Structure formats: structure tokens, C-alpha cells
Structure 1
């Protein structure tokens, strides 16, 4: 038995009784209580109560000593209370079976012992047996309906078991019993967050902060919610306060990194994510976010490595897997490899839902010619590049034949959102719907054709589509690729992205490809008042030197791209280059990589991420835009054309590497598209040396754009609607075929 540092052992002192020792313990007089217990046990080695209390007093400093004392007490008297205490000495997973046996025996001796039931429920919850844990907790609550601690533990178990709706009900009862229980409020917020009810969660966390201003967990969660709601400065100060209180709080470092990302402070974001990983090497979310930061820095291979590490840490993490799939398209011109990875995603994350929905019945009437209800699902109905393409389609839909329902997944809302809302027949704000609820809403809305506008990009809700809430499901717009999911029956493409005569072209996708007649995209610049300006090379300050530019996401600046450009700069020694990249180490690394391809840093000027109009004005300084490979510019190239800047392209075999070809073909400029590096360099050099042609393109590209299918919203809408009708007819035929012979 451990001894007290007071030296008070031996003969009993006046007033030494178990009751006085217990009273001292309850008053927090630990050393006095310990000394009295030692004297009581010295006087009577079989004083079970004193042995038990002495064991409890050792729990905080020596669990082995505590267990020895409590075991001695049990040897004297098998008490349910002593058995509960013995279980408390078992902290490791290896000791869990000892604790379970002790608590089970306590309940045998006293079936109505709520604390034993509570503690055993907690242990079963820890080992993943939520059903058994629930039975124990519910029995404990039946015996002690006003015990806040039992409710709290039950709610925490349900939350960890992935049952946030049940957890919410239990935790609301907890705070009803104990209104000042800050941790219960915090867990209630976590349950709400798990159900996507972010607005409610923020209110709950603000209340928890009032109760516990210095709770690191509350501050960390609140900072995350504030960041998600776009309150960046408040999120930053909240998270910094959490880290001031606890510099080792891993999730706070991760959340702070996201705040820095939102501000474009990529180096600080990388440092925060790296610190989180240093503290917790298997923290999957931090690896994902570090991968995102690497991507923004132009290090696509490093970002892919981060996503793979995240998947190794947490194989069930859907976000890591989706990010990997999206990143792979930028790294190599191999869509078959991307399909293989996408199919692995589906097998890993969607299998159970796909099996459950394989034979789901849709009540939609299989009538080929009736008006159809089209559902568009996206987190980007806002000031986002996707709106440049959804705007012309939604604006020109034939609402007599197609009813448009938009499912907005994001909390962000702006003037673009307001404009898009006017083009929808029904607008649903579903940002706080979980996957199951959103799928049910889509079923209730009787959507005939559900359009996935996100695929594996940020904000994707893959498990909604895996539930097959609509009879026809199609992927479009996010990027011309594949979801890998059997739940998506169709994908839209065009004859340039996926030529019918290219061998094995449709084998790159799990979906059936339906080719629109002209192009995958229809564009609205949403900035009509900004004109292209004069050709920069003809200005006085240019000294006749051509200026190239690439304002694509830095993740597209692959080694293949820089090698492609190197021949251009070797032939044009006075040419300059404008690149978009975040300040700091990203630019330094790009300068080093450019130098390795013979492009001197003195010829390069960087710009950061900008608001749209400022970004478009940057094209006033660019004569020719250089395309990227294997992932061509998509939106960025259309923006360049709109601003009078030609974009020669190098195309490959994958659809993302053929975007430039598609755009140029629709503009009548196919001669600017090359199938090899050598031809690309020759095309760019010839164009750079032909200033009259460059000037003519500058003056006429916008008009050419406006007269092309790329900006003919009405034509594009008719083409999309014809595609929808074709898909729907195919489903109707299939539905009729599947009917039993006696049905009409």
C-alpha cells in the first residue's frame, strides 16, 4: 500500500473513522483522507471500506496500487460498489475484459445499480457494440431518469457510433437536466454538425462558450463552424485562443489551417496542417488538407501522396478518396487508370447503399413525352466558376416541358445565387440535409432526371446518388470524366472530348456517354462590361516583347506542362510569362522548376488569386495564353478567349486533355490545336511572330465567341433537353420491359 508523505501511519488518532475519512475526501482533502485510511487499515487490515476508499484515492496517481487495495476490499466483502471501482482501475484495451467482468458481476449482485449499468454501457460502446451499450444505458436511465451523467455518456456513445439523431435526443435531455453542462452542449453541437445542421450547431456552441469560455474543445468546434459559415476573422481569433490555451490541440491546428487556406495564406496553412500531423501522424483530415494546400501550391504529385496517406490512415474517409480521384486527372493522361480508381471508390464506399437500392422502385410514370422534372444538385450555385455554365442553361430551359428543381448544398449565398434562383421552378436550400434526408427529398419531389454537377470535386455528395433517389441519374459539368459509380447511368460529353472513332474511348467511363452536338460547355462571362483592350505587345512599354500567360490553377503546372513550354521560351528569348500562384514558397518552387526547364525566373511575373474582374483584367497584359497538359484549361481558356487572348492547345487521349481542342473547334480555330509537343511549340511560335494575326484575334475573338455554340444558351439548352429526353425514353422502355405481363 502506498504511504502518505505526512508520515501519519500507525496508531489511530482521535476522530479516525471511515466516516471522517470519507468526509475529508468529499471536501477535497485528499492527503488527510489518505492518511486516515492508512491508519484505519493498519489498525484493521480487513476494514473493507477503508481499503476501498484508499484505492479510490490512489486512482489518480498509481492505478496498480489502487487495484491492489480495491482487490483486498473485495476479498473481504464482494460489494457491487467495490466491483465498479475495480473496473475504474482498468484503463487499457487489454484490461477491458477485466472491467466488463467486474461490472457484470456488480449488476448480478445488484441489478438496479445505475452507475454499474452506465459504466458497462460505456465499455461496450468503446468496443463498438452500440446495441448492447444502448440496452444498458436505457436501463440505467430507467432507474435514474434525472442523472445527467448517464444521459451524457449515452449521448456520447451514440455520437461515436454514428447515430447523431438518437444522440441529439439524449443530449437535449442532458442539458434539460443540467443546463450548465458545457460538454453536453458541445456534444449536442457535434450531433447537429453530423446531421449537417450547421446553423443550429453554431447557436449551441455559442451558448457552450458562454458557459465555458476557456473550453478548448468548444472553441475548436466553434472555430470550425465559423469558418464553414464564412466568418473567417472570427474563426481565426477563436481558434488562436484555443491554441493559446492548449498548443497541442490537433483539431484546432487543422481548423486554423483551413482558415489560412480561405485567406490564400498557403504557407501558413501548410505549417498548421503539418503541425497537426506532427502531433497526430494518423490524422487523416490534416493529410487531406495538406494535400489541398500542396495542390494550391502547384505540387500535384505531393498532393496525391497526401491523399493516399490520408486513405491509409482512414480507409473509410470519402473525402480523401474523392480528392485523390480529382487530383489524378491532373497528373497523367490516363483516364483508364482514373476509372479503375473510381471503381475502387465505389466498391469501398458505396457498396452497401448500391446493393440496397439495386431494385428500388420509382413511382415516376414511364411516359416518354410527358413534362419532366429535372433536379440539379450542387454546392456551387453562387459566385463560382460553375455558375458561368449553369447560368445560360437555367436561363434558357423550356419550362413548359422541363420543370427545374435546384438543390443548393452550400451555406454560401450571394448575388449570383439570387439570379440563379429566378431561373428555377423550385429552389431547395438543403445545406443542412444529411444524405438520407436529401435522397428522400428528391424522391418526394418526384425528380425524373437527377444531375450531378460535382462528381468528385469539393462538396460532393456521392452517397446521395448511391441511394438512387431518381430513376435517371447523369453526371455533367464538374469535369469531363467518370464517377465510377453504377448509380450514375449517363454522362454528357461531346464529339471533341470523346471522338466516336477513338479506340476504347467509352471504356474510360463507367457511365454511358451521350454526346452533345457541339460542346460540353456553354459559357456566360458574367462580366460583359469589361472589354479585351489592346494587344499588349504593341504597347510602348512592352519593347516588342511578347507576353505569355497562364492563369490556371497551379496544380495544372505539371512537369509535362513546363517541358511543353520550354521549347517556346527557347525559341523566343525575350518573351515573358505571367503565372498565377500564391505568394511564398509556391512561387519559389515554381521558379526552381521553371529554371530546370530553361525558363529563367527573371522572365516570370506572378499574380495571386484574385476577384473575378481583377483576374479578367490580367488578360490585358497577356498576348497569348499557354495551355496546360494533361489537364487543359477549361473555364480559364474560355475566360481568355472572352478577353481576346488566344489559347493554343496540346491535346491527348483523356477528355480533360482535349478541352482546348473542343473549345478551339467550336470557335473555328482548330489550327491552334496540336497533337504533339513539337507541333504545339511550332504553333505557338508562329502565332507569337505573326502580330497582325494576333491583333486580329484580339479584336475579333469576343465576337467569334458570341457567335459560336459556346455562348448560344438557347441552342445549348435545346441540346441538353434533347439529351434528357433520350435518356428518359431509354428508361421508359426499360421500365416497361421490366413490368410483369399482366400490367398495363
Structure 2
């Protein structure tokens, strides 16, 4: 009888377990480690590998295994793995001690150096982290993760040039490293190179469509590029993947604000702040949404919350300065907030010397001898934006023989951009330039007078002007107020916005006020507008008032004035512009508190310009706002034949109605107190023949006025520039020299 032969499987080896782990067969690696440990509980290598395999899902188990391995052998690799089992929030000291000991045993252990650098970075010790990572990439130039970490740390230190180089090297070594693509995009965004960053993020999205960081940043850049539907889609995806991701929620809210979905935006911001109450950007964005509903006091509170959590948040402070003007007509209070902004955000630039090559050379002996001045205009709104109603006519009328016009545009280009560019001597798209590089470009262009068209509104580049790249810097057009900046020497205004000789008027501004002879604004229609319609009251049988200003101008002071009008005219109706939802509900409740029944009020939403202008066909009289009067909206109403009686305030923005009506020869529609305002409006409403006459004549009256005389306005503006330039030249020491 033959003997039985048993087929015995070979005993597992550590090499087999290690090979399975490296091949990604983690379950097989775990099984082999378990067999090895069962066979020999003192197999330190198997204990270590089992710990590494447990790190992702069971940190306590990993900790227990690695401690057993270390008890058997103090190995640098074991110490690095032990550090990974430490809670970074409560055990960073223990982790650092383990890594330090690993480096004592193996001084050039790059993995230990890299992980120690990460711990220092998490503590905010970025210089130390950078030094360690520099050593890592010197020892191991092919270590992609170390290049990624070094680039990220350098970015945190503000060294964008070296950060970009390291992150590009990380991508070269590991093309699928999504974090490196994302952080490289962040570096480019910080440098103003959003188009290049967008291309990077779109590629990163193809690598990992579920990376929330990629989706969030991609949503931001798609929004900035005007691709709102795509932005909304990717941010919606980010929130679906990570419902507790506050940045994704905040950026989604921004897109909703842009799309007029204010209620949805408010919900997104509220959720972001519930998750992260210290999230300054979300507070600032929340303020913008509240402002869009007309709740200006709540918006101001939100901006202040943002600054309480991050005093260096420049966007929030800009928002606060601008929004303050909707809440008060106290010019000194507005000035104080603007100066607080300048002291906080502009001081470092103002402390540095202004390096410029311009030479004092007025050459004003005769018109022929005058040197051609270089005028630079800076704006994010050289596009289909209400600002273009004023820049297009003026730029077209500039005397290009005497003034070289250079425009610095950070606008997303459109058809209006092309029309504006055709009126300039030189057009520069500066979306990809940060403030420092743009300042150098302006110096290289030898700009004599640099004009800020934005002040504290969206897209402002206050740090650019604080660098003082031009010898003369001027604020104009955004709104007739103050920047609060010592870097802006002049502001343009007119005799109505800032009546000369009135005590305290000029003290409200850090800039010197230069009053143009007639008007601060020169208005034109960009495209063929609708014709003015017949007076609606004739067929409706009642007066319809309207206010199509942004709801942020609809203050309690405004409604208090209007209440007397509606009390005197019980059949009158009102048309307001506001987004659907809570904004309208709030305005109706507020009006009801002032005695205006909801049945008398009708709303329209934000509309394309042609549709918006046609809305004026439904309105007999435009009601002005207080303390911030209508500006462009009032000009639009007047163009469509709708008179705009005004209540004059103490601040420049509260005298806009006065300026417009004075230039039209309609001072009888100007009131200086609430009682007079109610009387003026009610008297006009009861005089249908007068209303009909105004309806028929206002457009021609505007066309014949300084408000639309672009050639006259351009000559006045150019004379102002000459005066400013001569003033600067005369203030410079030494002899005057010709400038090449």
C-alpha cells in the first residue's frame, strides 16, 4: 500500500505581504500580515505593515500595532508611521518628537523631513517648514509630494514665483496629482492670472471630477468669466459631494446673487456661517446678499462681522465703506470709515517711496506748445455696464492730439468693450496682472494722470492706486464721494454736488475737489432706446409712481418721505424693482408700516436694459431715494420722459438729483426737506398737463443740456486735467525739463 503524499503550501513571507501592498492588493496584504503575526507575534516588520494598512480606516488599531513594532525595534520607518497615527489637533508634539527621533537615527530620511515640515506648516511655522522641504527636494529631487508641499508653503509665505516653480515641478513628476494642479491654480489666481488658472482647473476636473476643492475653485473662476450656468452646476456638485463645505456654499451663494436668486443665496450663506461662524468671506458675501434685498443695516452688520473675524479682509472693508453711504448722509461719518479703510489696507504702500519717471513739464505757454498728456483710466467695468453710458461719449470726444488715452481694463470683454477700445489710444487687458505688475506697467507707460473709475465698488483696485504709479491720481464717476486715500490727490465733482463756499463741504473728502463747470456726469444711450410713451395716468385713471433703483437705496428715510405722498394720493400706485422672495416680502412689510398697502405695490425683477427702459412706460413720476439719490437710474427715467423730483441731502450722493435737475433747468422739482418734497411730488402728480408736457419734452431737454453735451464735457474734463498737471509740476523742486 503506497503512502499518502501531502501538498503543503509554502509559508507566507514578509516579502509576499510587501509585494501585495505595493501592488494595491491590500486585502491580500492584510491576510498575509495576519498569518505572519499569528506565526510570530514578534515579527516587527509584519506588525508595521499591518499598522500602515490600518491607518486609513482604524487609527487606534494602527497605533496599537505600531507600538508593538516599536517595542521590538526602534526603526526610523516605524517612527514615521507612528507619527501618522497621532491626532494632529492634540498630539502634534508627540508626532514631532517621533519624527525628530527618526531623523536622529537617519538624518537624511526624506519622508520624515517631509512629514515634520507638514507639522510645522500646520502650526503656522512656515519658514521652518520651507527650510525642511528645501532640504528634502535637494536630497531627493524626484520626490513629487515634497515639491507640492514646498510650493504650497511658499505660496502661504507670499513667494508666488518660487511656489509656481515648485508646483509645476510636482506636476511634471506626478501629472495626476490633483492637489498640485489646484494649488498651482491658486497661485495663478493670486497673481491675477485667472484665465490660465481656469485652464488648469478644467484639466484637473478631468482627472478627478469629484474633488471638492477643484469644483469650488472652478466654480469661482467660471463665475468670474461670466459662465454662470456652468459655475452653478459645478458648485452644486461640490455641495452634493460635501454638504458641510463652507467655501463651496459661500461661492455658490455668490453665483446665486449674480443670477438674482437672492433667497437661495441667503440660505447658502446662512448654512456656510452655521458651519463656520468665523468665515469672514462668507460674512462679507452674506452682507452683499442682504444689501440686494434692501436690508442695508443688516448688510452693514454682516460686513462688520467679517472684519471682526478678519481685520485684513479688504473686500469686506470696501463693501462696508461703499454701503455706509446708503445708510447715512453724514459726510464726515462716511469719510471716517473710508479713512479707516485706508489706514488698515493702504498704509504699507504709502510708506514706500513712489518710483516714477515723469518729469514736471507743463508746457502751457501756448496751446501749440502743450505737451500731450498721458491719461490712464482704470476700471473693471469697461463692458456692458451702466458706467459705459458715461465713458463711451467722453472717450469718443477726447482730443487725441493733446491727450493720449490709455485704458486699463480688468473687465470680461464683450461688445461694449470693443467699442470702448476703439476710442482709446492704447487698450490694455490687465485681467492677468496683479496690482504690483499693473503699477509697473503704468509706470512703464509713463502715465501722467491716472483716473480711478471704481473707488470702493466691486472690482476696486485700491492697492494699485496706493502704490502711486502716476504723479497725479484722480477719482471720478463711480460715485461722487471720497476714497479716503492719501494716494488720490483729486476728485472730480460739480457745483451742485458740492456747492462752493458752503462751510465744511470740502472737509468731507481726503482729496482736493475740482468742480467741473456744469455736471459730474455726461450721459449717452449706447444703443437705440425705446421711444418715450404717452402719460400712463391718462388711461389708467390714477398716478403710478415708480422707483427702479437698487433696493439697497430703499431706506426707512425714503419710505418715511414717500408715506406722505401716498397718504395724499390714495389712488396712486407704486412700481418697485426687487428680486422675488424675501426682498419683496420685506419691502411690502416696511411699506405697510408706513401706511402703504401691499395692494398698491407692484414689483418687477432685474431686467435686460431694453426691457428695463420700457418699464418706465408704466410710470408717471419717479420717486427718488434718500440719503443716496438715484444717479444712472434717474438719468434713465428722465430720458424716458419720467420726471424725478428730488430731496437734497447733506452728502454728495444725496445731491445727485439736484445736479441733474439743475442741469435740466428744473429746479422747481428740487426740495430741501421732507415736507417740501411731499408737496413737490403731490403738486406735480395733480397737474396732468404739466406731467404730459414733461413727458413729451424731457428727452429733447436732456439732449440740449450739459448732461449730454459730450464735446463740452470732454473739453471741461481736459481743462481739469491740465490744471491738475500744472499744479503737480509747480509743486516739484528743481528746473522743469522736457519729457521724451
| Smaller-chain TM-score bracket | over 0.9
**Deviations along 1:240-280, whole A, 9 cap, x unmatched?**
23333333333322232222222222212222222222232
The separation in 2 between residues aligned to 1:72 and 1:511, in whole angstroms, is 72
- Look up the SS of the partner of 1:520 in the other structure: coil
Aligned to 2:305: 309
Matched, 1:225 2:239: no
The separation in 1 between residues aligned to 2:518 and 2:555, in whole angstroms, is 29
More displaced stretch, 28-37 vs 371-380: 28-37
**Deviations along 1:544-591, whole A, 9 cap, x unmatched?**
x11111111110000000000000110111111111111122111111
Aligned to 2:659: 662
Aligned to 1:700: 697
Contact 1:253 1:275 in 2 (8 A): yes
- Look up the SS of the partner of 2:458 in the other structure: coil
Contact 2:355 2:469 in 1 (8 A): no
Deviation at 1:670, TM superposition (A): 1.5
Distance 1:41 1:263, change over 3 A: same
Q: Write out aligned runs for 1:47-196 (5 A).
A: 48-49=44-45, 52-53=48-49, 55-57=51-53, 59-60=55-56, 63=59, 66=62, 70=66, 73-74=69-70, 77-196=73-192
The separation in 2 between residues aligned to 1:249 and 1:642, in whole angstroms, is 47
Aligned to 1:5: none
| Aligned counterpart for 2:359 among listed residues 359, 365, 368 | 365
Q: Write out aligned runs for 1:639-718 (5 A).
A: 639-718=636-715
- Look up the SS of the partner of 2:733 in the other structure: helix
More displaced stretch, 651-660 vs 210-219: 210-219
Distance 1:361 1:234, change over 3 A: closer
The separation in 2 between residues aligned to 1:434 and 1:205, in whole angstroms, is 20
Contact 1:125 1:161 in 2 (8 A): no
Contact 2:26 2:53 in 1 (8 A): no
**Deviations along 1:408-454, whole A, 9 cap, x unmatched?**
0122x222211111110000000111111111111111111111100
The separation in 1 between residues aligned to 2:389 and 2:160, in whole angstroms, is 37
- Look up the SS of the partner of 1:653 in the other structure: coil
- Look up the SS of the partner of 1:224 in the other structure: helix
Contact 1:34 1:57 in 2 (8 A): no
Aligned to 1:731: 728
Aligned to 2:515: 515
Matched, 1:602 2:596: no
Deviation at 1:53, TM superposition (A): 4.2
Q: Write out aligned runs for 1:199-218 (5 A).
A: 199-218=195-214
- Look up the SS of the partner of 1:645 in the other structure: coil
More displaced stretch, 678-687 vs 261-270: 261-270
Aligned to 1:452: 452
Deviation at 1:56, TM superposition (A): 3.8
The separation in 2 between residues aligned to 1:337 and 1:136, in whole angstroms, is 50
The separation in 2 between residues aligned to 1:491 and 1:689, in whole angstroms, is 40
Aligned to 2:530: 530
- Look up the SS of the partner of 2:517 in the other structure: coil
- Look up the SS of the partner of 1:330 in the other structure: helix
The separation in 1 between residues aligned to 2:302 and 2:248, in whole angstroms, is 19
Contact 1:568 1:684 in 2 (8 A): yes
Aligned to 1:7: none
The separation in 1 between residues aligned to 2:105 and 2:451, in whole angstroms, is 60
Aligned to 1:494: 494
CA RMSD of aligned residues (A): 2.4
The separation in 2 between residues aligned to 1:702 and 1:41, in whole angstroms, is 97
Deviation at 1:94, TM superposition (A): 4.8
Contact 1:548 1:624 in 2 (8 A): yes
Deviation at 1:235, TM superposition (A): 2.1
- Look up the SS of the partner of 2:219 in the other structure: helix
Distance 1:113 1:601, change over 3 A: same
- Look up the SS of the partner of 1:498 in the other structure: coil
Deviation at 1:177, TM superposition (A): 1.4
The separation in 1 between residues aligned to 2:239 and 2:336, in whole angstroms, is 42
Deviation at 1:61, TM superposition (A): 5.4
Aligned to 1:431: 431
Aligned to 1:381: 382
More displaced stretch, 302-311 vs 238-247: 238-247
The separation in 1 between residues aligned to 2:576 and 2:238, in whole angstroms, is 37
Deviation at 1:505, TM superposition (A): 1.5
- Look up the SS of the partner of 1:717 in the other structure: helix
Contact 2:408 2:430 in 1 (8 A): yes
The separation in 2 between residues aligned to 1:445 and 1:100, in whole angstroms, is 52
Matched, 1:320 2:316: yes
The separation in 2 between residues aligned to 1:575 and 1:181, in whole angstroms, is 65
Distance 1:529 1:345, change over 3 A: closer
The separation in 1 between residues aligned to 2:642 and 2:601, in whole angstroms, is 18
Contact 1:534 1:698 in 2 (8 A): yes
The separation in 1 between residues aligned to 2:97 and 2:337, in whole angstroms, is 46
**Deviations along 1:321-348, whole A, 9 cap, x unmatched?**
1111111100111121121111111222
Aligned to 1:35: 34
Aligned to 2:630: 633
Deviation at 1:33, TM superposition (A): 5.7
The separation in 2 between residues aligned to 1:393 and 1:180, in whole angstroms, is 51
- Look up the SS of the partner of 2:175 in the other structure: coil
Could you tell me the TM-score, scaled by structure 2's length? Answer: 0.92
Distance 1:495 1:52, change over 3 A: same
Distance 1:87 1:737, change over 3 A: farther
- Look up the SS of the partner of 2:26 in the other structure: coil
Contact 2:490 2:511 in 1 (8 A): yes
Aligned to 2:586: 589
- Look up the SS of the partner of 2:375 in the other structure: strand
